[in-house]
Amino acid sequence: MELVESQDLVVIDITQMPAYNEPITAPYVIMAMNHSGWIRSEYDFEEDVFGKHDFTLLNPGHVMVALETSEDYHATLLLMSRRFYGYLAEMYPDNYKYVHYFQTTFHLTDKQYEGINSCFRMMKTLSALDHPLRDKLLVSQLDIMAHLTEIYCTENGFAPETKNGIEQLLLRFHALIAENFHKSREVKFYAEQLCLSPKYFGSVVRQALGYSAGELIARYVMVQAKHLLRHHRKLTIQQVSDRLGFSSQTSFARYFKSHAGLSPLDYREGK
């Protein structure tokens, strides 16, 4: 979104998603507060349902697919650029441990919901300001919300600071895929980046996710490929192939067909 790039932090209200059954990968930290109704979605290919008063934090580069929403669905999204999050984490490093999960979701009581929602309302007002102190005011409000979140997590028995090594490894793996998928689609490359042997790395990923590291890489590449083919129709198949880092259009077509069961052109034409 150009608005996020220009303002670094925006707050928007939504009653329906912009696209259903369409995988997206956002380059932003996203905080979502569900006010009413529910949304059924997939996050990194795992399905879940988020209901009323659920508070969710999504990390950059992960795959999200909105499948269905209830008629009374209403949520507020806070989208934060990497630059702004880096500025925030640098100022208050101890208050953002929970952001290092793949996905942090927890249910709020009515009282807790009012506390977090008041922060969202204030940030929506502050984010619209044209003022030299806008960023500092937003950071202060986010710090308040971080403190409230930590209190509520403790009250609800959720301890985001106690993440295990596998979660850390998988989060780093996701981040590496988002950064390097156009350069390498080999498990060995990612294992080396994580200072692990490919065999051990592969077994850890399969045990944690139920499918292979190679499949996760392929799923991520296919999300990007399908998005370019469907939503950037002015790009030729060769240009899509180039953007994804394939050595040739032929190798891209072979890769795409092996994972989608049809050619890139047939997919674009909806066959």
Q: What is the pLDDT of residues 180-214, one digit of tens each?
A: 998 999 999 999 999 999 999 999 999 988 889 99
The pLDDT value given to residue 208: 87
Q: How confident is the model at residue 121 (pLDDT cuts 50, 70, 90)?
A: very high
What pLDDT was estimated at residue 91?
A: 64
pTM > 0.85: no
pLDDT score at 238: 96
Helix 213-231 and helix 165-180, axial crossing angle in degrees, nearest 10: 40
* CATH H-level superfamily of 165-268: Homeodomain-like (1.10.10.60)
Q: State residue 164's pLDDT score.
A: 64
- The top-scoring range by mean pLDDT among 155-164, 243-252, 262-271 is 243-252
Q: CA-to-CA distance for 40 and 51, rounded, in angstroms? A: 9
Phi, psi of 222 (to 5 degrees): -65, -35
What digits encode the pLDDT tens for the residues 251-264? 999 999 999 999 99
- Average pLDDT score over residue span 65-93: 84
The confidence band for 99, taking pLDDT boundaries of 50, 70 and 90, is very low
The most confident of the ranges 117-126, 132-141, 164-173 is 117-126
User: What are the CB-based long-range contacts (under 8 Å, 24+) for 229-238?
Assistant: 229/264, 229/267, 229/268, 230/22, 230/267, 230/268, 233/268, 237/264, 237/265, 237/268
140 versus 113: which is more confidently predicted? 113
Mean pLDDT of the chain: 86
The CATH T-level fold of domain 2-155 is Jelly Rolls (2.60.120)
Residue of 174, 160, 189, 170 whose CA lies nearest to 25:
174
What stretch of H or E contains 254?
Answer: helix 249-260
The string of pLDDT tens digits covering residues 220-237 is 899 889 888 987 889 999
Predicted local confidence at residue 146, as pLDDT: 81
Domain residues of the chain, as ranges?
2-155, 165-268
